[in-house]
Chain A
């Protein structure tokens, strides 16, 4: 695993309020409050890919019924998610599954650093929630045509696939290939700005993710204990 404690992508950092309306902190504060009010079985955490999901019908149809909370924040890097999780967004809750989707905004870091940052978050989640499964979603390809960020995100995914098994509770789900056409292009029907998903795009991800979550949720500790007897 790369970087150790020198990996900049694994350093917890809040987002500076450069624009002047304090929106990042307002959202973080709201999430901390939601931890006090709610008892989620599933926690989604990450960047705009997570946040936007809650705006579409698919959330109400497939994930709300699972008692899910959405702590996605647009623009977040692994550093920002790490900071949020260490500063209240895991307090008072005991979800059975955490879905983690972050890394595409880490523009200042190499693929190795980004993968290291994601693993660091997964490690933190496992430490704080020893019984929870962590579902890490692969970074999707971006840009209409092949470009360096596609290479980078694919490398992150490759590294995650090989590093995550070391954390017993972590699972990796990557639907990247579903979005690439034979000529290497990505359609605006799936990603309206060649990064963010349309409702159609989310449908492609939602089915395998929902199946996986249902499978995990069906294995409650009570059932596991019973099966060991």
Chain B
């Protein structure tokens, strides 16, 4: 699977400041400066699911002890993460693991384009950090009942998992502990509950084996 120039999901693109308070760039600049100040063993990069994790107890309990940095930005799609990693967020650091969790915000892109975008990020990380292992987390199902986005996300996961299977420097990890119930629904239960009871066991399994 190759990223063509015509794939918007695989073309590094900064976020436009459409609201007027420059928050996306402020966060990016802060992350670049954290790269200069810190020596992380693990870097998490992605969208709001990564960013929010930092706010909950699970971060202090599971990840802080591993010397982690959190470069999640809410709303980011693959092209935004690609831009950030190409513009300083992988500089001056040599983590052992990069955890990548992105893809659910790529609205308007096909599953193939999104998967290509994710693989483009994996390649970029490998180019910049040849000694790091990249752990790509599966995109979670979304919406209360079955809907087109669930199909899209499942297809992305399948394509990415296939593409990663031939690489030694990266692997796929499914962090869905069974959010979708037998009737096809997803419970609204608090994000924090999901992180703690649902995702925590997944992360506990994933990271030790990656490090």
Contact = CB atoms under 8 A, between A and B. Distances in A.
Given A143-B21, A149-B19, A199-B55, A194 B26 contact: yes
B24 to A, nearest CB: 8
Q: Which of A18, A30, A193 has the most CB of B within 10 A?
A: A193
A21 interface: yes
A199 B148 CA distance: 34
A225 to B, nearest CB: 39
B200 interface: no
A55 B192 contact: yes
Contact of A147 (B18, B21, B57): B21
Q: Which of B22, B23, B143, B144 has the most CB of A within 10 A?
A: B23
A4 interface: no
Given A22-B144, A54-B190, A149-B20, A198 B55 contact: yes
A19 B23 CA distance: 23
Nearest to B152: A20
Q: Interface residues of A toward B: which range? A: 20 to 34
A188 B30 contact: yes
B211 interface: no
Contact of B21 (A30, A55, A150, A188): A150
B51 interface: yes
A23 B22 CA distance: 27
Contacts of B142: 21, 23
B144 A23 contact: yes
Interface of B is mostly: loop
Contact of B20 (A55, A56, A148, A188): A148
Nearest to A195: B23
B23 A144 contact: yes
B144 A143 contact: no
Interface of A is mostly: loop
Interface in B32-56: 51-52, 54-56
B126 interface: no
A142 interface: yes
A92 interface: no
B20 A30 contact: no
Nearest to A26: B144
A23 B192 contact: no
A26 B23 contact: no
A193 B25 CA distance: 10
A143 B147 contact: no
A145 interface: yes
Interface of A: 18-23, 26-27, 30, 54-57, 107, 142-145, 147-150, 188, 192-196, 198-199
